[in-house]
Amino acid sequence: VGLAVTPPDRGVEALASANRRLEGELEEARQKLVTTVDRLAATQARLLQAEKLSALGQLVAGVAHELNNPLTSVIGYAQLLHEELTSKQTGVTRPAEALAEDLGVVCREAERAARIVRALLAFASRQAATREPVSIGDLVEPVLALRQHAHTAAGIEFAVCRPPDLPRLLADAPQLQQVLLNLLLNAEQAVRPVAGPRRIDLAIDVDTRAYAVRFAISENGHGINPADLGRVFDPFFTTRPVGAGSGLGLSVCYGIVRDHGGEIEVESVPFRRTTFVVRLPALPAQPVDRGPVAIVLRDPAAREFLAAALRAWGYRFVAADSGERALAIMGRRIAAALIEPGAIPGALPAMLAALDEAGARLVLLGDHAGLHALPGDAAAACRARARAVVPPPYCLEMLRAGLVAAGVAETEALYEETS
Ligand SMILES: Nc1ncnc2c1ncn2[C@@H]1O[C@H](COP(=O)(O)OP(=O)(O)O)[C@@H](O)[C@H]1O
Ligand SMILES: [Mg+2]
């Protein structure tokens, strides 16, 4: 048996050139991927805008009526008062209080018109996502104001059940209003063909266990075929005739709710009850303390950035990159932990137990892909405890939002400087 002898330098040379070729191909593939991702992002942005415009289109018809009602009062009373005040023959006969009352109606109705215009502008504008404390009233009232007339016109009985003293949300109000509006428009479309009483209910309450505010929109419309239940949130899924629906409304809702660290679900019994439920993390009523805060994050640069931000905001904190180090940190008293669950899959159960024991609040760092990649029930356990999800790329605003949601920031103080 002979040995095949290859001159060593030629073998190495061949390997090196093969390697160079591979590297070249890899780089080319990477470039292509980057271009494709960019293109996808641009397409997605255009689609979202298209969906918003179609929702706006549906709104505009109703808004004409919404505006005409207050304008009728404004113009009518203003003309009456003008006549009364300038009339040579009769002069002013009513007491000043009566005139003031009429003027009060003018003011009130003009403000109502202005509110409607503001709400419309908020939907139409395309701003970068923000996170600010918003009250439930400020969130839902503009949406309801926009649909009131449409409900009356279509013979829809609409009821809102909203207890007082609901906690505030840390949210992008126009985005969440778009969610409510999309759900409401779908509900209206579902009840319109119903022959009997058409009813839509919006119930808002607090899920104290999950520190969440729960919005349930339910109606007695045509409902969703059980086979379609799993698909209604898919982009482009629509059962409406060609041209009548984009199939994007619910996928937009899903994306916005997810970006707020919330969840959206649907249940349907056709012609009995269809309910869309949105759960969004609530702001704690009482700001708690200024740390210490634990950061568990794999990427050193990202970890250093979070540390720098916490340092600048005057927090005491500890940072770790591994499960072992993190658990050592957990041994100390901490107020909150910002954790990238994917960084410590093995140590996660022990860590969650340690958090519970310390009474520390959990903020998840990372996206939902990271959560889905976790083994077993870990994702559900994380989601059940998390007060907020801070998605990458990490920015100051989202980080603040996470800290506020975790109750380790003074809400007003933190937002004073930005507003
Ligand atoms: N309240 C509802 N009742 C019955 N079906 C609904 C309801 N909301 C949504 N759907 C179903 O989900 C589909 C997707 O909704 P959506 O994403 O808003 O797109 P579109 O309204 O443009 O069809 C609808 O076509 C409809 O089949
Ligand atoms: Mg829709």
- CA angle centred on 110, ends 107 and 113, rounded to 5°: 150
pLDDT band of residue 35 (cuts 50, 70, 90) is confident
Give yes or no for residue 250 CB within 6 A of ligand 1: yes
Between residues 409 and 179, the one the model is more confident about: 179
CB 170 within 8 A of CB 401: yes
Atom of ligand 1 nearest to the CA of 253: 17
Residue 394 has a pLDDT of 81
pLDDT band of residue 267 (cuts 50, 70, 90) is very high
Inform me whether the pLDDT recorded for 412 exceeds 50. Answer: no
Atom of ligand 1 nearest to the CA of 219: 1
Residues 290-307: what's their mean pLDDT?
85
Residue 217 CA to ligand 2 centre (angstroms):
14
Distance from C-alpha of 363 to C-alpha of 385, rounded to nearest angstrom: 8
Q: Which neighbouring-strand residues pair with 294?
A: 318, 337
Inform me whether the pLDDT recorded for 306 exceeds 80. Answer: yes
The pLDDT > 90 percentage for the chain reads 25
* Residues in CB range of 394: below 8 A, 6 or more apart: 302, 305, 306, 365
Model-wide pTM > 0.75 = no
β 263-269/273-281 pair status? antiparallel
Inform me whether the pLDDT recorded for 413 exceeds 50. Answer: no
Residue 55 has a pLDDT of 67
Which residue out of 56, 179, 186 has the highest number of ligand 1 atoms within 8 Å of its CB and is therefore the one to mutate?
Answer: 186
pLDDT band of residue 416 (cuts 50, 70, 90) is very low
* Mean model confidence pLDDT for the chain: 82
pLDDT band of residue 45 (cuts 50, 70, 90) is confident
Distance from C-alpha of 287 to C-alpha of 408, rounded to nearest angstrom: 6
Inform me whether the pLDDT recorded for 414 exceeds 70. Answer: no
Residues 190-214: what's their mean pLDDT?
88
Q: Identify the residue whose C-alpha is closest to ligand 1 atom 1.
A: 187
Give yes or no for residue 252 CB within 6 A of ligand 1: no
| pLDDT tens digits, one per residue of 53-71 | 666 666 666 677 678 888 8
Residue 228 CA to ligand 1 centre (angstroms):
10
Residue 399 has a pLDDT of 83
Residues 392-406: what's their mean pLDDT?
80
Inform me whether the pLDDT recorded for 223 exceeds 80. Answer: yes
Inform me whether the pLDDT recorded for 193 exceeds 90. Answer: yes
Give yes or no for residue 255 CB within 6 A of ligand 1: no
Inform me whether the pLDDT recorded for 161 exceeds 90. Answer: yes
Give yes or no for residue 232 CB within 6 A of ligand 1: yes
Inform me whether the pLDDT recorded for 208 exceeds 70. Answer: no
Least confident range from 3-7, 68-72, 248-252, 255-259: namely 3-7
Residues around ion ligand 2, judged by CB within 5 A, are 186, 249
Residue 5 has a pLDDT of 55
Residues 23-35: what's their mean pLDDT?
90
pLDDT band of residue 419 (cuts 50, 70, 90) is very low
Inform me whether the pLDDT recorded for 312 exceeds 70. Answer: yes
Give yes or no for residue 187 CB within 6 A of ligand 1: yes
Give yes or no for residue 74 CB within 6 A of ligand 1: no
Residue environment code for 289-306, b if the CB has 16+ CB neighbours within 10 A, otherwise e: ebbbbbbbbeeeebbebb
Distance from C-alpha of 70 to C-alpha of 149, rounded to nearest angstrom: 12
Least confident range from 22-36, 41-55, 115-129: namely 115-129
Inform me whether the pLDDT recorded for 418 exceeds 50. Answer: no
Residues 380-401: what's their mean pLDDT?
81
Residue 117 has a pLDDT of 75
Give yes or no for residue 239 CB within 6 A of ligand 1: yes
Give yes or no for residue 245 CB within 6 A of ligand 1: yes
Residue 138 has a pLDDT of 92
Residue 177 has a pLDDT of 92
Residue 230 CA to ligand 1 centre (angstroms):
12
Inform me whether the pLDDT recorded for 126 exceeds 90. Answer: no
For the chain, give the longest Cα–Cα distance: 130
Inform me whether the pLDDT recorded for 314 exceeds 80. Answer: no
Inform me whether the pLDDT recorded for 220 exceeds 80. Answer: yes
CB 296 within 8 A of CB 343: yes
Inform me whether the pLDDT recorded for 265 exceeds 90. Answer: yes
Residue 135 has a pLDDT of 92
